[in-house]
Structure 1
Amino acid sequence: MTLASNSTSAATGTDSAPELNLRLTGQAVDKWFVTRYVLALAGLWTALLTPASVTLAIRVGQLNPEGKAGSLAVVASVGAFAALIANPVFGALSDHSTSRFGQRRPFIAGGFLLGALATIGIGFAPSIAFVAISWAAAQLAFNAAVAALIAVLPERVPARLRGRVAGFMGMVPQFGVVGGTFLIQFIGTAGVWMFFAPAVIGLVLVLPFVLTLRETPRSREQVGRLDWRVLAGALWINPLKHRDYALAWAGRFLAWIALYLLTTYKTYYLIDKLGYTTKNVASILFDAMLVLAVCVAISSVGSGWLSDRIGRRKPFVVAGSLLFTGGMLVVAFGTGIEHFLLGIAISGLAQGLYLGVDYALIADVLPDQNTAAAKGMGVFNLAGTIPQTLAPVLAPALLAIGAGGGRGNYTAMYLFAAVFALVSAAFIQLIRGVK
């Protein structure tokens, strides 16, 4: 059953991006297109997030067991900086591509293959410096693929279907983390296989979409000139000119700072506040991440589907921010593991509500989606990337508020996280161009 409109009567000047691409390529967005697209996203996140969340730390520990914490911080920071630059810059390059293979396919395929080779190189790394270089290369390449793949949503998926597709997009990163964790438990952490296996699985999932995606080459007149000004502007979209886009960006930015304060410091919270040790914390962390993943999956897919049915985006994103505020309050004032797991569950449902719709919301207010979709989505992704770096910098100051006895004040930190989520809801509510 074809889900996209088959109408080709609209003039080029008034076509939406999905209508224009349907007319140019003849490829309708049906259930098989969506399935291949979601599987490609799952494959990409599996290949990227398995090392990011599991095997990179293991490899650093193998090479420098005494100074692993400091070495991992350096390696992760180098990778985060590479990701920060790569997503919008490669998005702009993709937007301006005149390749006969299309605008998106070369970046998806090339970015994935180079990223996979770079992560496999980490398995052979003889030093921490080599790990850092390989991880930076992996982040550059994988984020080139991410920028091109995410651009498919506003370019190809009709507005009436974006909620349910965005719902799956919100779920697949959790699939990558949890699936990667299970995979590493199965294959072990000895040798290069812990990097090779996720790359192979990712390739199997990405390949069907790349091979079947139809694109028509664009001329230089259609995509515009590519020069240093275009690349310099890849990191910037004028917030005054595009108010709704800026509000959506700011809302995600604050919500994701709150999220990373929770996920980055959950281990230390369990040890410092709830009395766990480095020897027994692993099992409860796995339980917590499983609870988080299940809750994200349930609410993400459900909210995306319901958003399409009722034709509204903002209520779901606002509800996600407000619910996350509640989850942070439970964690902030919790006194036992049951409160922690309850807070994690509430936060997972909130994250799913937010993720299930915010990609659809941003696609509805994306500037220049006919000509610069990858740049716009790349800049929007910075709202989730920058908090990964900012949260660890901000956290020590928040933990020091009223702290005593040599331990951080986790209540204060998570109260601030609740405030960030609450302000995020206020920003989303101010958006005018989307219901």
Structure 2
Amino acid sequence: MSHPESTLSGIARAADPAFVTAVDLGGRAAGPMAPAPPESEQRTSRRGVAAVLVGNVGNAAAGLMPPLVALPIYIGVYDPEGKAGSLGLTLGLLALTLLVFTPVFGAISDRTTSRLGMRKPGLLAGTGVLVAGLFIQGLATNVPLLILGATVMAVGSALFTASYSALIPDQVAPASRGRVLGFQSLILVVMGVSASIVGPALIGNQLVLFTAGGGLMIITTLITTMLLKDRLLDKKDVPAQPALRALTDGFAYNPKSAPDFSRVWASRFLVTLGVSFGGFSVYFLTDQLKVSADALPGLISLTGVINLGGTVIGTLGGAFLSDKLGRRKSLVLITGMILAAGGLITAFSPDVPVFMLATAVIAFGLGTFIPIDGALVMDVLPGGKAQTGKYMSIMTIADQLPRAIGPFLAPGVIALGALTPMGGYPVLYLFMGIFSIIGGLVVRKVKNAR
């Protein structure tokens, strides 16, 4: 799926009615270095919003197909007996790789003095590495090669994400971030649904299934770099420190120095940990609800359509309420309760229709959570504009660490749940609800945000 520039400009205008007076960060007359202005003076860049949204299309297309469709299917083919453990290992290593490398690349992004800008080099290099990982998975003939390809893909994703996650703070004023994040999450949902619809039709062609989004990502990344008026960093403004210190600085963070940021980090971690348990939905259908192999592709597509509807409604509502009310702490708690309700319904699903209802509830809750939580993160972001990439990458750990831990924990939870009358997969979804509610409660402790 792609958008012409005129459509993106329309989306950008809808995201910020003040675009008629917008200026591009890193403006044309700023000289060799264009530092970002203070947040109180920051304007939204129309081209910056367009770059953010275009880049998200390709990144989502390339990155979502493997974990949503391709890896569960082909791990089941190459390891039918140990598929739950193998999938957990693969997804866990993928997330762990992102966890380790994203902060490092984020610190490098904040020190990049390329003539292209601070963020463009990471976007381009990350795309190349990610696409290489897709080809490795597409050509794999066993689980170890799938794991290798997923790991290479994760390194590329970390490199891309470290620069991409800094674009909204760089290019979008605080008052517009909730809406831009809403459009961004809508794109993720549409591409995820596209993967769920297109993926089953490509199951017979492993290479195409894994690499279908790679070509699109190359195109959209090139368009993004052409649209983006990137910030430029002068070499004299880079802190003088050894190379190793510059790399490890991506992890240098004292939680006590920014307690609100730390609480939001913990909240996202817990909610994401709960959501990570939902990655076993294919096996819930086959093992818990006894869906046949012939019926599975159609149900994967149906699940994708339901996810689209639920998440679109949730995202639009969440993005609007986030900017309109500004009461993001209460809204995060509400979304945690919605996610918990979805997990509870899933756990007690007697058949496929009830499971699909639960899917819709979870999609609605997650869609609502993403723009609200994203805007709250930027409300409490420490370090100033000089460290945007670093702290956005640290927040990425709250996304990736639970995605690394969750798949490793899930097989154990499933095994323990199998000893109960409920069964393994229902207990897994109960844990999803528990973590979601706790995450919503933690964010209530944030003091300097509403």
Decide: shared fold, TM above 0.5.
yes
Identity %: 24
Matched residues in 1 for 2:127 and 2:226: separation?
14
Which runs of 5 or more structure 2 residues have no equivalent in the other structure? 1-12, 26-33
Decide which of 396, 402, 409 is 1:381's aligned counterpart: 396
Residue type of the partner of 1:231? L
1:18/1:156 contact within 8 Å kept: no
The offset of 1:165, in angstroms, is: 0.8
Q: Deviations over 1:115-173 (max 9, x none)?
A: 21332243344665444333322211122111111111112210000010111222333
Aligned position for 1:425? 440
1:18/1:157 contact within 8 Å kept: no
1:82/1:136 contact within 8 Å kept: yes
Asked if 1:176 is matched to 2:191, the reply is yes
Matched residues in 2 for 1:208 and 1:218: separation?
22
Asked if 1:136 is matched to 2:151, the reply is yes
Distance 1:108 1:17, change over 3 A: farther
TM-score, structure 2 normalization: 0.83
Asked if 1:246 is matched to 2:246, the reply is no
Aligned position for 2:124? 109
Q: Deviations over 1:7-53 (max 9, x none)?
A: 99xxx999425846x6xxxxx512x5423321211211111122333
Q: Deviations over 1:206-261 (max 9, x none)?
A: 32221121124312342323532332242353211111111111111111121122
Decide which of 274, 286, 299 is 2:314's aligned counterpart: 299
Distance 1:141 1:404, change over 3 A: closer
2:113/2:233 contact within 8 Å kept: yes
Decide which of 38, 44, 53 is 1:16's aligned counterpart: 38
1:236/1:379 contact within 8 Å kept: no
Residue type of the partner of 2:97? A
2:182/2:370 contact within 8 Å kept: yes
Q: After superposition, where does 1:36-435 map in structure 2 within 5 Å? A: 36-57=51-72, 64=78, 69=83, 74-125=89-140, 128-185=143-200, 189-190=204-205, 192-225=207-240, 227-261=243-277, 263-399=278-414, 403-404=418-419, 408-435=423-450
Name the SS for the 2:66 alignment partner: helix
Aligned position for 2:5? none
Residue type of the partner of 1:308? D
Q: Deviations over 1:281-317 (max 9, x none)?
A: 4433432232123211221133113322233322322
2:178/2:322 contact within 8 Å kept: yes
Distance 1:190 1:277, change over 3 A: closer
How much is the aligned-residue C-alpha RMSD, in angstroms? 3.1
Matched residues in 1 for 2:136 and 2:412: separation?
37
1:161/1:308 contact within 8 Å kept: yes
Residue type of the partner of 2:270? L
Which runs of 5 or more structure 1 residues have no equivalent in the other structure? 23-27
Comparing 289-298 and 400-409, the one that deviates more: 400-409
Matched residues in 1 for 2:401 and 2:127: separation?
22
1:260/1:387 contact within 8 Å kept: yes
2:23/2:45 contact within 8 Å kept: no
Matched residues in 2 for 1:319 and 1:407: separation?
27
Distance 1:6 1:270, change over 3 A: closer
Distance 1:288 1:193, change over 3 A: closer
Aligned position for 1:25? none
Q: Deviations over 1:304-353 (max 9, x none)?
A: 13322233322322221121122222223333333322222111111011
2:182/2:371 contact within 8 Å kept: yes
Distance 1:411 1:254, change over 3 A: same
Residue type of the partner of 2:189? Q
